[in-house]
Amino acid sequence: MTPIESTGIVIAATIALFAWNRLPVVIVAISAALALWATGIVTLEQALAGFGDRAVLFIASLFIVSASLEKTGVTAWAGQFLIAKAGENNRSRLLIIIMGAVGCLAALISGGGAVAALMPVVVMASIRLHLSPAQLLLPLAFAAHAGSNILLTGAPKNILVSEALEDAGFDGFGFAEFAFAGVPLLVGTMLIILLLGKRLLPQQTSARLPADFSRHAQTLVEHYGLSDGVFRMRVRQSSPLVGVEPAHLEFGEPSRLQVMSVQAGASGSPLQEGARISEGDYLLVRGEAQAAARLAAEQHLALREEEAGESGTAMFDRRSGLAEVIIPPRSALIGRAMHPGMATDSGDLVVLAVQRGGVDIGPEEPQLRAGDTILLQGSWEALDLRLEDPDVLVVNSPDLVRRQAVPMGAGAGVAVAVLAGLIVVLATGIVPPAIAGLVSAGILIVSGIITVEESYRAIHWTTVILVGAMMPMSIAMVQSGAAQFVADHLVAMTGTAGPIVFLAGLFVLTASLGQIMSNTATTMLVIPIAMAAATSMGISPLPVLMSLCIAGSASFLTPIAASTNLMVMGPGGYAFGDYWKLGVPLMIWFFVMAVFYVPLVWRF
């Protein structure tokens, strides 16, 4: 059996197993790499080299950057902004904003970087609007394919075709010259997705969305009957409370206001015994809104209007938040007396409410029992640290709640600065993308924005392994001569029928190879064939190479066709067969652009 035949059999079997969808995709991909090694088409080093490839490292680093944006609340802020612009029930407007944003960003930093930056925002929007992420994430990836054709920096293939022109003695494509094809490509892609996407994309998938915590504080306030409100008021310099010990606070109207806690302004932790109130500290007060406003005026305390207007908003900010815990069986806390207003043994959390069976525990029986629920308030650091105690069960992770409920939280500035720096570096090409991604991830870890353990969890390992395991397929196509064999036959069949027919055949070849090879590898393979054909037919290579560039972006039919397709596969819960349904009409649009539109702009 020849190497070409062996490669063809492995590729056909791999595609069939992917379509069958009964085996894990990573098993199929790794098996394909091992089969290529076993048949002698690639060496062992080549079969395993993909796991250390710079593209794999770049994708892994992008997941870490994305997780940092989510952890610091940048994603929550962007999601709220996106929803505000799109409207609560306007799916079409939301899709237009998402696809327009990813298309423009992909033109600057490549499709992979654009999808990684916007994917958590899109997932957040799907949670808030109660949409399936499958309706939004594949349009995100496909719009990135189109957007990568707008500028020279959109994809490596753009640079490759421009350099090929220069090597042949022509002027290369200008930085923004791609936009003559890229902008219509993106607009047409958006229109097709808006018209057909809802019917061709899966309505529901196996992807499990996290809970929506955007109004978590208000939910807890209502559940625990804090209807009068809990208000967090900052002590001004002119306040008569400065220098007073918390135990000696007296405001009058005891039945209408209750001081739950006095918290240090810097840390958000309750003041320790013997400490005195200073400027910038906070009073946590429970009671009627009118009484709280009167107290703020009399004692020179800062009370924001939004806190006075809506219960619960005062307790969620960049420093502090709420957490709900349950007393499990055999907990050491069973039998302990606990009531609202008291601090925990650690001194950095305050008890706001204690309930048994949904009813507040009265002062006559304050001892805890298994199944009781407690509402705690304190700094986010204290909540993360203290709630790891095995004597309590946390209902909702404070970390997950903070990511959604606190837009632009602690560390958000650093995360945004790192993302901006990454975009600049990728757009200018100062260093290779893999280096830019790894340095960005390293800065986020060293600065404490995200821990090493959180970085491991942030990486979608199925995507990383799949990309690495499929790279030997591209090597085998070139090394065995299979790709050249197909290309030579295509030129022989179409080269004499005129340039339009040749462009059609070139598109079919390039797009077909692009479903199982990276668009960079496909473009590198087809460029010499395209240049030779243009010379033999006596036509300009400009429309031929621009058509090739568009065909290289038409990676719509399979999840393995492009890294962006793989990146959304897990979060969107897509199966292998979900891609081609919407991919086919988009392939037709790209075909029309590559074969009939390009020659109108770049003449033969």
For 177-218, the pLDDT digits (tens) are 899 999 999 999 999 999 998 889 887 765 566 666 767 777
Q: What is the average pLDDT score of the chain?
A: 83
Q: Are 66 and 117 within 8 A, CB to CB?
A: yes
User: What is the structure's pLDDT at 402?
Assistant: 80
What digits encode the pLDDT tens for the residues 294-304?
Answer: 888 888 998 75
Q: Are 269 and 296 within 8 A, CB to CB?
A: no
| CB-based burial, 34-58: b 16+ in 10 Å, e otherwise | bbbbebebbeeebbbbbbeeebbbb
Task: List the strands of the sheet with 301-302, edge to edge.
Answer: 257-263, 282-287, 230-235, 301-302
Residue pointed to by tokens 């992979």: 112
Q: In 10 A of CB 138, how many CB atoms? A: 28
As to burial, measured by CB atoms within 10 angstroms (0-12 exposed, 13-18 middle, 19+ buried), residue 258 is middle
Is-above-0.75 flag for pTM? no
214-395 sits in which CATH class?
A: alpha beta
CA 236 to chain centroid: 40
Tokens describing residue 498: 């005129």
User: What is the structure's pLDDT at 236?
Assistant: 92
Residue ranges of the chain whose pLDDT lies below 70 = 19, 21, 79, 88-89, 109, 153, 205-212, 214, 227-229, 252-256, 268, 304-315, 487, 490, 495-496, 517-518, 521, 525
What digits encode the pLDDT tens for the residues 19-65?
Answer: 676 888 788 889 989 999 999 999 999 999 888 887 788 878 878 88
Coil vs helix vs strand at 145: helix
User: What is the structure's pLDDT at 309?
Assistant: 45
DSSP state of 209: P
**Residue 429 and residue 109: Cα distance in Å, rounded?**
9
- Of 478, 550, 491, nearest to 519 (Cα)? 550
**Residue 153 and residue 238: Cα distance in Å, rounded?**
57
**Residue 134 and residue 329: Cα distance in Å, rounded?**
40
Residue type, 356: R
Q: In 10 A of CB 410, how many CB atoms? A: 17
Helices (H), 373-518: 380-386, 398-405, 412-428, 433-446, 452-458, 461-479, 482-494, 499-514
H/E segment holding residue 158 = helix 156-167
**Residue 311 and residue 294: Cα distance in Å, rounded?**
17
Domain-wise residue ranges, the chain: 9-208+461-601, 214-395
Tokens describing residue 499: 């340039």
